[in-house]
Amino acid sequence: MNSRSRRHYQLSLAIALTLLVVLISSPVLAQSTNRQIGTQYEVTADPVVPRPEEKPCLVQLFSNYEFAFFSATTQTFNFTPPSDCSGPWQKVVFEADFSENAGDQFDRTASLYIANANIYFGTTPEPLESVTNTWHVERDVTDYSALLTMPQQGTIVLQNCTTDCPAPYNTELNGVFTVNAELEFYPAGRHGRVGNNDVPDVVLPMEQSNGSGGLNLPAFLLAEGDQFTTTFTLPRNIERAYLDVVSQSQQTDEQWYACFPNNLNSINLLYGCGNTDFRETEITIDGKAAGIAPISPWVFTGFLPDQWVPTPAAQTLEFVPYRVNLTPFAALLSDGNEHTLSLTVFDQNYYFSEAASLLLYLDKGSKQVTGELTKDTLGAPSPVVAEKLKGTSTVTGTIGVTQNRDFTVAGYVNTSHGKVSTSISQQQRFSSTQTIDFDTVNQSVLDQNTVVDNSVDSSTTVSGRSGNLTTDDSFSFPISVDVTYPVSTALFGLTVATRQNYQSGKQIYLDGFPLSFGSVNNSVSASDVTPAASSQHYVSFDSTGQIYDCQIASKNNTLTSVSRGCNQQ
């Protein structure tokens, strides 16, 4: 390699490594709990968010906020940046601690916002019978630093009720939630960042009016075809754009992964939902298809409660947002006109809660970028149903659904450092099988085995003066649920066995040369078949040498084992 080529390669590598930090800085979420063998306290195998060595500056968002009544569902707080820890910051970490007194209560949804941008979204466990339950959640919110450089108002939403519940729950439910939250700011140190080019310059939440001068936090989609839309006038020098999306299924769509086609909805005796078991969040810009976000099969502790003590299902306490790359649309978004972003959930039954934030990286060397969208082959989904059933009063057989798509979205921007092209090729693979054995007349038999596998693989190539930077992302979140009814010895008259296996991975190359990789695998299994048992295995590793491997298990709703790797955080 001659010296000129070597200098060009070193420059390209330096630029690529700067981009690398950007590309791998997607939200990291975690739960850290007291893993005490012999107890029923809420526990997961998830890791804490890795911290820099520097001492952080702490900002208390609020302390001892209580949620007992509907009237206290929405509570606000004021945020002020730390005066002794000015940015740019190496890392910003959100932390919250929850407690719930012993007694009776439903599982509840909780979400938190700063300047209406979602910082946390998850659900609570159902309470323990005789002791106060506690749990801790964390999220790396460094990518939201642009919101945190100035004072902001924040909002936490946790809808709960006790004596103000409708009858008969007004005399039955007594569970009260207490929440504390803070932000940790890690200053740039000896190994810190130079400047703030590796975090978005602008963070803009999507917002839904409540019709009374305020906002719905979270937003909601009540029926098939409903849209969550926001119209923006954006900066004119956008170089890259991303959308963080959370779509939480609710009510009859809570177990969407077990829904039947509409012609069979009447025999879906346990779940009672239609529109098949395929769901997906569709993103459009000015009505044009721009991206997709798979719906995660989150399982809440209300289904079945005795299955999820002490370990909840994967991500139940804190949802992982799905990040959609909208960079091919950067030139369009920079043209100075208003643009409308919309989210819909394909084939929803009823209903979904939504949160989304637009993250923008600006070309600081120019006031206006130009360019165009050059390709968009993303079309609407069209799931295929295959029914292989026998009988009328007794129905047995399988219901299958498949949805496969290959598409490309590409565009370019003319920036102060040359033309930069982005091409995103994605493959979506969805398949499900419902195996059923139903007595539809006497309802004396109800066996339903649900197996759903959904994956999205993306290959993104960014081409510019520094070469071709390729990022391969993989996402899959399969779930299986086996329900048997009736079971006379079971607490709720039926038994459920559930398995989940969340997987995500990333590999980055510069002109075919590997730069980095990372992987997360989070598998959970639980069964309330006597004796009730559960286990979780969380493994993550990356090319920096960070490895985390934690396994926990329970029996009879009590934690029985914790692996040595759980302490390597």
Where do the domains of the chain lie? 3-567
What is the chain's pLDDT, residue by residue, as a tens digit (569 residues)?
333 333 333 334 333 444 444 444 444 455 656 899 999 999 999 999 999 999 999 999 999 999 999 999 999 999 999 998 888 999 999 999 999 999 999 999 999 999 999 999 999 999 999 999 999 999 999 999 999 999 999 999 999 999 999 999 999 999 999 999 999 999 987 654 434 448 999 999 999 999 999 999 999 999 999 999 999 999 999 999 999 999 999 999 999 999 999 999 889 888 889 999 999 999 999 999 999 999 999 999 988 878 899 999 999 999 999 999 999 999 999 999 999 999 999 999 889 999 999 999 999 999 999 999 999 999 999 999 999 999 989 999 999 999 999 999 999 999 999 999 999 999 999 999 999 999 988 888 899 999 999 999 999 999 999 899 999 999 999 999 999 999 888 888 889 999 999 999 999 999 999 999 999 999 999 998 888 899 999 999 999 998 999 999 999 999 999 999 998 65
Residues 554 and 308: their CA atoms lie apart, in Å, by: 10
Q: State yes or no: cis peptide before 88, omega within 30 of 0.
A: yes
pLDDT value of position 378: 97
Taking only the tens place, the pLDDT of each residue in 4-13 is 333 333 334 3
Q: What is the pLDDT of residues 443-471, one digit of tens each?
A: 888 999 999 999 999 999 999 998 999 99
pTM, whole model, 2 decimals?
A: 0.93
Beta-carbon-side half-sphere exposure of residue 116 (alpha carbons within 13 Å): 13
Tokens of 479: 């779930």
* Structure confidence by residue, pLDDT tens digits, 371-419: 999 999 999 999 999 999 999 899 999 999 999 999 999 999 999 999 9
CB 535 within 8 A of CB 522: no
Give yes or no for a cis peptide into 218 (omega within 30° of 0): yes
The mean pLDDT of the chain is 92
To 5 degrees, how large is the angle CA 67–CA 69–CA 70? 110
> Distance between CA 65 and CA 156 in Å, rounded?
9
